[in-house]
Amino acid sequence: MVNWFWRKGAKGARVDAPKLRPRSEDAALSTKVDLAELAPHRDQFLAQAAYVQLVIFEGLSANVAAAPDLAAKERLTRAAAIALEKHHAIVAEITRTGAVAAEAMQAHGAAIQFFQRATRGDTWAESLVTSHITSGILDDFFVRVAGGLPDDLERRVRAIYANGSHEALVSEQLRVYIEQQPTQAAHLAMWGRRLVGDTILVARSALASPPSSANDEARIEPVFTELIAAHTRRMDALGLTA
Amino acid sequence: MVNWFWRKGAKGARVDAPKLRPRSEDAALSTKVDLAELAPHRDQFLAQAAYVQLVIFEGLSANVAAAPDLAAKERLTRAAAIALEKHHAIVAEITRTGAVAAEAMQAHGAAIQFFQRATRGDTWAESLVTSHITSGILDDFFVRVAGGLPDDLERRVRAIYANGSHEALVSEQLRVYIEQQPTQAAHLAMWGRRLVGDTILVARSALASPPSSANDEARIEPVFTELIAAHTRRMDALGLTA
C-alpha cells in the first residue's frame, strides 16, 4: 500500500506544508535519488533537527508523567534522556555556527509547531505511539539527509544519532501495553496510520525546497517509501497493522 | 516569620505526613542536631531521593512544554537535564544495592505522591516557582541528611548533588518573568509561601522516623530553620517576600 506519502494530513488546513502533486505516470522511469541531494542549508538542517528532538523530548516527558506505574515511568525517563541528549548535542552544533538556537528554531519552526499539535495523542497509549512512530521516521529521515551536509558536520551529526536510540525502550512499553489491552490494538493501529501523513509532511518541509516537478516527486518517492517500510516494520513489531 | 515548619499543609487531610507537636517550651535549651543523625536507612534514603528528583524532573519538563517561547524552553531543557541526570545517578546507586528502583520508590513513595499533587501549579509561573522552591529546599535537605549514610555512599551522593544545579537557570527565568509581570509578584509570593509547608512535610517524612517527643522536635527545628533561611534568600533573589 504505502499511500501515506500522498495523503494530506488528517486535520484541516495547514500552513507551510508542501503541496503534493498527483503521482506521475513516469515515476517508475525516474532514477532513485538520495535524500542527501535535497539537504537544506546547514543552518536550516540543524534548526529543524534540534526542534524535532525538542518536540520528541516533550512528548516522551509527557509519557513519563502519565505513565501508569513507576516501572514504566522509570524506563521512559531513559528514553526522554536520550532525546534530550540528542537535542542538546544538535543545539551545540548550532551554537558552534555562531547562531542562537532558539532564534534558529523559531525561524524554521512553523511546520514543526503544526506537526506537534497535529500528532498529540489523547491518551497515554496514543501519546506513546506518537513518540515511537514519529521519532522512528524522523530520526531515519534526518540521518539520511545528513549525507548532504559538509563532511565534518555530517560525521558529527551521524555520531549524535548513532549515540543512542530510545526505540527499544518505547516499543517494549507499547508491546506490553498492547498485550495487556488487546482490544486497544485496532485503535492504536489506526492512530499509527494517522500519524504517518503528518510525519512525512514535516519531513518534506525540512528538505531544501519542496519538490517542484512531477519528476522531482518521482525521484524522492522511493526514499520516502523506504522510510515508510521501516515504519511498517516498527508497527509489525508491536503487533499492529501498518 | 519561619513558622512554616509548624504549619500544616494547606490542602485537607493527608496520609503519611508526620504529626507535629506544638512548639516546646524548652526548645531553646536543646542542642542543635545535625539532620544526619536522623538519616533513614540507606534504602529509604536512596528511594526517596530518587523519587523526589523524578518529581522535580516531571515538573521541569512540564515547565519546558508550557514555556512561552523557545528561548525559555531551551534554558529550561538544561534544568530538566540536570534533574534527570541526578535522578538516574541515584537510581544507579539503588541498582548497586541489588534493589529494583521502581519497587523501592513505590515502597517509600506515598508522601512524595501526595507532595507532587499538593504542589502542582495552575499556571506556568506557579509551576516554575514550584520547581524552583521545592527543589531548592529538598536538594539542601537530602545533602544534609546524606551525612548519615555510610561514608563511601555519602561521598558518592554528595558528588551527585554537587554535579550540577538548575537553581540559577530556573531563578533567572522567574526573575525575568516577574520583572515583566510585576502585578504577578504578590500572587507568586503567596504561592511560594504556600509551598513551603508541603515541602517541609515531605522532607520530614524522609527522616528515619518522625520525631516522637517535644525534645526531638526542638532538636530538629534549627536545621529546618536553616533550610527555610536558604529558601528566604531564594525568594529575596526573585524580589518576592518569603
Q: Please write the tens of the pLDDT for every residue from A86-136.
A: 999 999 999 999 999 999 999 999 999 999 999 999 999 999 999 999 999
CA distance A96 to B192: 38
Q: What is the mean pLDDT of residues B18-35?
A: 45
Q: What is the mean pLDDT of residues A12-24?
A: 39
Q: At A96, give phi and psi (nearest 5°).
A: -60, -30
DSSP state of A98: T
Look at residues B228, B234, B229 and name the one whose alpha carbon lies nearest to residue B5: B228
Which residue, among A52, A55, A64, A74, would best test binding to B if mutated, counting the most B CBs under 10 Å from its CB?
A: A74
B70-121 pLDDT per residue, tens? 999 999 999 999 999 999 999 999 999 999 999 999 999 999 999 999 999 9
Contact partners, residue A96, CB within 8 Å, separation at least 6: none
Task: Say what percent of chain A tops pLDDT 70.
Answer: 83
In chain B, what residues touch A80 (CB-CB under 8 Å)? 61, 84
CB contact under 8 A, A106 and B70: yes
Q: Give the nearest chain B residue to A61 (CA atoms).
A: B61
The verdict on ipTM greater than 0.85 is no
pLDDT over 60 (residue A160): yes
The set of cell numbers assigned to B124 is 506556568
Task: Closest CB to B80: pick one of A69, A84, A109.
Answer: A84
Which residue, among A75, A84, A108, would best test binding to B if mutated, counting the most B CBs under 10 Å from its CB?
A: A84
CA distance B181 to B68: 13
Own/partner long-range contacts of A173-176 (Cβ < 8 Å, ≥24 apart): A173/A72, A173/A75, A173/A76, A173/A128, A174/A125, A174/A128, A174/A129, A174/A132, A174/A238, A175/A237, A175/A238, A175/A239
Single-letter code of the amino acid located at A11: K
Inter-helix orientation angle B70-96/B167-180, to 10° = 150
pLDDT over 70 (residue A20): no
B170 with B79: CB under 8 angstroms?
yes
